[in-house]
Amino acid sequence: DAGVIQSPRHEVTEMGQEVTLRCKPISGHNSLFWYRQTMMRGLELLIYFNNNVPIDDSGMPEDRFSAKMPNASFSTLKIQPSEPRDSAVYFCASSLTEYEQYFGPGTRLTVT
């Protein structure tokens, strides 16, 4: 299996622009997670989907962030409008059990 696939790997955008991050989970996994990693706050869970349904979105920072999972093989995380404080590495992870998550390589977002 190719593992969790994320695109793009790097994104540089200007403040106010819309940003869309994409994730393809491992085939057969029924859980998907979006995390944000920064030096200041470490690794934070943004949202968790199970069987394509959002279960826990308590970590989504504010209304500028939204996530969708239209099917079992694709998810997006959108930021609109983006702000410099959104600069971070965003990870997608998928799992089949509640105790082992497989992480993608991440998307490094820079908002100027």
Considering only 15-23, 61-69, 76-84, 100-108, which stretch makes contact with another protein by CB under 8 A? Answer: 100-108
Say how many residues touch another protein, by CB under 8 A. Answer: 20
Least Å distance between CB 105 and another protein? 5
Q: What is the full DSSP assignment across 52-106?
A: TEEEE-TT--STTEEEEEEETTEEEEEESS--GGG-EEEEEEEEEETTEEEE---
- Tell whether residue 104 is a contact of another protein (CB under 8 A): yes
d(CA 64, CA 81): 6
Q: Scanning residues 19 to 78, which ones bind another protein (CB under 8 A)?
A: 31, 42-43, 45, 48, 50, 55-56
